[in-house]
């Protein structure tokens, strides 16, 4: 794809790798074309979705971009997420919330049992929020169509009632 200034643009999907530790999880995002953190952005949405993006020039007239969304489970403390970039790897540390279950040692078993379920729920929440937005737009469009139809019918009725028959 070519941009306005004539540069070539490419999109890619970075590879990711999870590491699970006792008090936190680490997401490693491999970015071989990025040599420094310039152009990288890591954000967490209000809905618990980690958004990672990057935009960089690799040669004079070539740009590369990526965008990735990853749902974050409720057992992570989103206010304490940290990221650093080193040797073409973006390391995002997601600390886990401290709960009563984690103090008695049963948290690890409980976490393993529910981890896959929570990630699935996180994906569904992301999909459902998109579905809700689509549903809102569809309902708004339907309401507009109904109002325009009603006004058109009323205008036609007024027009027909004002015509005087000979």
pLDDT tens digits along 1-26: 555 555 567 888 889 999 998 889 99
Q: In what order do the strands lie in the sheet with 82-86?
A: 15-20, 24-30, 89-95, 82-86
Q: What is the pLDDT of residues 93-148, one digit of tens each?
A: 999 888 655 555 555 555 544 454 555 545 555 555 677 788 888 999 999 999 99
Count the domains in the chain: 1
Please tell me the predicted confidence (pLDDT) of residue 106.
52
- Domain holding 30, by residue range, is 9-95
Q: How far apart are CA 71 and CA 124, in angstroms?
A: 9
- pLDDT attached to residue 113: 45
Residue 90 sits in a domain whose CATH number is 2.60.40.790
Q: If you average pLDDT over residues 49-73, what whole number do you get?
A: 87
Q: How far apart, in whole angstroms, are the C-alpha atoms of residue 73 and residue 57?
A: 34
Residue 36 lies in a domain: yes
The confidence band for 74, taking pLDDT boundaries of 50, 70 and 90, is confident
């Amino acid at each position: 794809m070519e941009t306005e200034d004539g540069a070539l643009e490419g999109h890619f999907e970075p590879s990711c790798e999870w590491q699970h530790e006792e008090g936190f999880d680490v997401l490693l995002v491999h970015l071989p074309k990025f040599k420094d953190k310039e152009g990288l952005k890591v954000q967490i949405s209000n809905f618990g979705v980690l958004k990672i993006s990057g935009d960089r020039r690799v040669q004079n007239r070539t740009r590369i971009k990526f965008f990735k969304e990853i749902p974050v489970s409720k057992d992570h403390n989103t206010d304490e997420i940290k990221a650093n970039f080193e040797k073409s790897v973006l390391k995002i540390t997601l600390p886990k919330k401290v709960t009563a279950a984690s103090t008695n040692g049963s948290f690890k078993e409980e976490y393993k049992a529910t981890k896959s379920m929570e990630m699935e729920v996180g994906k569904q929440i992301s999909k459902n929020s998109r579905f809700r937005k689509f549903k809102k737009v569809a309902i708004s469009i339907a309401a507009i169509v109904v109002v325009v139809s009603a006004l058109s019918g009323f205008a036609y009725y007024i027009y027909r009632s004002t015509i005087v028959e000979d």
